[in-house]
Amino acid sequence: MFDHDDSEFDIQKTILKKKEHKNGKFYVEYDKLTNRVFSVTPTHTQITEFRRGQLEVDENTLIRDIFNNKIPLHTLRVKYDIESNTRILYRQTHYRKSEFDYVTVDKNKKHFINLQCDPVAKRIVIAFDDIYFKNQLATERVNETLLKELPEHISLYCIDKHEPSRLYDTLSIDLKKLFTEHEQKFWCSWLPDEKSLLSNIDFLHYNHGLNITIIDDVIEEPIAVSHTKPSILYKQVKNKLQIQSVMEESKNFYLDDNITFYLFDANNPDKILDTISLNSSELDNFNLLELKLKTTKSIKMISNYSHLHIEEANDSTYYKF
């Protein structure tokens, strides 16, 4: 088994050479909450900790590079791959963007930030789709690393498609405001009078890894529902409530200083049994909280942030604690 100590890489080469004559299977032990890798080994071991997971992978180029001291352990992550509907091992890399790395809004694929032009009202609306964001985050097509690197504001340049040097306007999208209020409206007197002429306009923004869609051209995409990653887990034991954060920093999810949880009767959703307000920072660093409830009735929990995926932990869920 290998860990962060680079001195052990020579041992791994020996193990790998021997393993080539067997079934070529390797086992990755990782943290389910952070997706960080603890070890890669050709030996299968029984996992007893709820928070730890084990991934079986075939020998491949990535495995060989790991054991040949080309890839350090701390750069490895496990993630859910929606295409194969399985978890995969990958190397986390940081794409270096140039100052000229700009992209246009997407007209062929759905995203959680949408743009709509209203030529009659002379208005552009930037809308946040909290349901689609939650799905993207749950299926790990969006992760906290991406959110952490986003700027406070995104500048959207409105240009002439046929004459790109012609700038009509620059719209500043406040991401914190967008996540909390769900939309931003901009008065744009320069918009054409006819909807058909909107095709002559392009919208350009810096490539932060975050895409924007013109919603008139949205293509619906199926969302996998199995093995999704929540933002918050909870578990009730009689009159005690445990809340497990799946966030490194709550600010990366555009939370305000406080978060409120609403606890309702599991058998009667119309009946609120309790509300709990916490400082959002208490959810940082994948913290586990334990709170006392006013009731022993079975509860379900939601929060005042509709874009957070909250899931009850039980024996059938992937994330348990």
Q: What is the pLDDT, as a whole number, of residue 136?
A: 86
Give the per-residue pLDDT at 7. 39
Give me the pLDDT at residue 15, please. Answer: 46
pLDDT of amino acid 262: 96
Alpha helices by DSSP H, listed for the chain, are 9-19, 61-67, 130-138, 144-148, 175-181
Q: By C-alpha distance, which of 155, 163, 160, 171 is closest to 205?
A: 155
Report the alpha-carbon distance of residue 176 to residue 174 in Å, rounded.
Answer: 6
User: What SS3 class is residue 132?
Assistant: helix
Q: What per-residue confidence (pLDDT) applies to 321?
A: 64
Q: Which residues of the chain fall below pLDDT 70? A: 1-23, 94-99, 216-228, 315-321
Which position has the token pair 């909870």? 234
Angle at 204 between CA 200 and CA 208, to 5 degrees: 155
Instruction: For the domain covering 102-217, report its CATH number.
Output: 2.60.40
C-alpha torsion sign, points 82, 88, 90, 92 = positive
User: Looking at residue 92, what is its pLDDT?
Assistant: 83
Are residues 248 and 311 in contact, defined by beta-carbon separation less than 8 angstroms?
A: no
Question: Structure pTM?
Answer: 0.76
Do 234 and 283 form a contact (C-beta atoms < 8 A)? no
Per the listing, tokens 């810096």 go with 206
Q: Give backbone dihedrals phi and psi of 54, rounded to 5 degrees, phi first.
A: -130, 130
Least Cα distance to 280 among 238, 313, 239, 248 occurs for: 248
DSSP state at residue 175: H
Residue pLDDT, tens place only, 170-205: 999 999 999 999 999 999 999 999 989 999 999 999
- Residue 82 DSSP code: T
Instruction: State the pLDDT at residue 19.
Output: 47
Q: Where are the domains of the chain?
A: 6-91, 102-217, 232-312
> Cβ distance 119 to 193 under 8 Å?
yes
Helices (H), 57-141: 61-67, 130-138
Nearest to 154 by CA among 142, 169, 171: 171
